[in-house]
Amino acid sequence: MPSAENVPTVIHIYSFPSASEPFTPKLRSILMHAKPILHARWNPVRKGNLAICCGTRSMYTWSDEWVGEEGGEEEMAECIGVPASEYSLAHT
Tally of structural domains, the chain: 1
Which pTM value belongs to this model? Answer: 0.74
Tell me the β-bridge partners of 66. 74
CA distance 61 to 38: 14
Residue 74: the pLDDT is 82
Indicate whether 86 pLDDT > 90.
no
Q: Is the pLDDT of residue 13 over 80?
A: yes
Checking if the pLDDT of 88 tops 60, the result is no
Domain that holds residue 49: 4-91
Mean pLDDT is lowest, of 23-37, 39-53, 67-81, for: 67-81
Q: How many residues does the chain have?
A: 92
- The pLDDT of 52-65, averaged and rounded, is 90
